[in-house]
A and B are shown apart, each in its own frame.
Chain A
Amino acid sequence: MVLSKESIEKSVDGLSIPQSLKESLVEYCVHAGVTRAQLNEIIKRVMESYEYAKIEPCEAVGVVAAQSIGEPGTQMTMRTFHYAGVAEINVTLGLPRLIEILDARKDPSTPIMTIMLKDGKDRELAKKVALEIEATNLSHIGSIYTDLAEMSIVIETSEQALSQRGLTIDTVYDVLRDEIKDKAIVELDGLRITVRPSEPSYRSLLQLVKLIEGITFKGIKNVSRVVIQKKDDEYVLYAQYRYKSVEKKSKTRKTPLEQVLSIPEVDASRTKTNHIMEMAEVFGIEAARNSIVEEAMDTLREQGLNVDVRHIMLVADTMTVDGEVKAIGRHGVSGEKASVLARAAFEETVNHILEAGVRGEVDILDGVTENVIVGQPVKLGTGDVHLVAIPIGEIMKKMKGENDGS
């Protein structure tokens, strides 16, 4: 008799195999239509294969991961830039990008936000949101020149440019006045704004020009470009920006991503950035870990390299175990190893040994590198197994204690 889906699910559910394996097992069994005896045989064989495929305890998975990422890495191009479609957004790719990810750089060279909208079908809305995100500086809306005879700065705006950016001369005037009111007097005359420094000197004039050029009249500071692209019948915004993430996060200062997320039209559940440290700041360590996996896999895939995701997952987990994103290398994981000899073998040998001597550190020779150095078997694989003798009395005592406890 062919078993029903429910009874197959019931017998599969209790097995100690991953969820995805259970699902496909049920799917195939239902599709083929199996009897109880057949199902039992299938389960037995699956369990055998699963046990066989599982990695052994004490296997050096880190070394395997290092080789599996390192070898394809040698085939990667040194080419840095790539133009993503017609939109011409620069993205760092290839080896430089992979290094950037593993180094946990605080200011990656080309951060890009992928902004999804709640209503992605409306092109006009996408344009409106794009204008709200892209920073508008003076150079976008007009020109600036200094009048030395009058000791003033003249800003000429163009009406066309203003309306294109969705601005009016009054808002520009208000923003400008708020920004520099304690340094200068601002006057509005038609489309022309005249700025007179309160202290008429050549130097203050030049300083003021620089200041005015840096003012963001509309949009989010440091977002240099926003491009709208259609992706699966939905308009998606890509924003190119700059952001250096900080160690201690202040409550008041918002990152560019946070500013974008608080725009009502933006879908805050799908909007993300390729800036891993900013993801950690905004969405926490688990999101950063997912971001590392995703970015590294995308970088490798784009180069036509096929690296198993488990290796990348191991690297991402290692980088995030301590609750913060740490680099692979001198300033991160390798530099904080417990063993003196392991650290000395990696980089800056003399410094590490000297410092360990000053502090009186002890090396318990637990890891791989230390044991290679001193010429002992490494505690890996079969080398990790010890014969331990416990007197029978001890065991009895322990068992008795456990029984009492439960």
Chain B
Amino acid sequence: MSEYSVLDHEMVPKHEIMDESEVKSLLKKYKITLEELPKIKASDPVVVAIGAKIGDVLKITRKSPTGGIAFYYRLVIED
């Protein structure tokens, strides 16, 4: 049996925990509230792997077939 990390998988994009000021400017930019962001569950394997907590916002850097790279944001929620 060997250990593997889900973060190394080619289909898992980069997830980063955003700090408070980044979240603030993000919400201001799109004129939305925190609850209007897309969600990600706290039990999601990636959330567990990077150690994010409920209430954190994750910045996801996706590889996009049209735009090259695209940013997506998800709020960590309880299951």
Contacts and interface: CB of A to CB of B under 8 A. Distances in A.
A317 B37 CA distance: 12
A283 B45 contact: yes
Nearest to B6: A283
Contacts of B39: 321-323
A282 B5 CA distance: 11
Interface in A291-325: 291, 294, 309-310, 313, 317, 320-324
B2 A263 contact: yes
A262 B1 contact: yes
B32 interface: no
B10 interface: yes
Q: Which of A23, A249, A284, A317 has the most CB of B within 10 A?
A: A284
A323 B46 contact: no
Interface in B1-48: 1-6, 8-13, 15, 38-41, 43-47
Contact of B68 (A23, A261, A291): A23
Contacts of B9: 268-270, 272, 283, 287
Given A19-B69, A309-B65, A323-B74, A287 B11 contact: yes
A18 interface: yes
B67 interface: yes
Interface residues of A, number: 35
A269 B4 CA distance: 8
Contacts of B47: 284
B66 A284 contact: no
Interface in A231-261: 249, 261
Given A263-B2, A268-B9, A283-B9, A323 B60 contact: no
Contacts of A23: 68
Contacts of A313: 64, 66
A370 B40 CA distance: 29
Given A279-B11, A286-B12, A323-B40, 17 more contacts: A18-B69, A20-B66, A20-B67, A20-B68, A21-B68, A263-B1, A269-B8, A269-B9, A283-B11, A285-B74, A286-B11, A287-B6, A287-B12, A309-B65, A320-B38, A323-B39, A323-B74
Interface of B: 1-6, 8-13, 15, 38-41, 43-47, 60, 62, 64-70, 72, 74, 77
Interface of A: 18-23, 249, 261-264, 268-270, 272, 279, 281-287, 290-291, 294, 309-310, 313, 317, 320-324
Across the A-B interface, give the 5 residue pairs with the lowest CB-CB distance, nearest first.
A19-B68, A20-B68, A268-B4, A18-B67, A284-B46
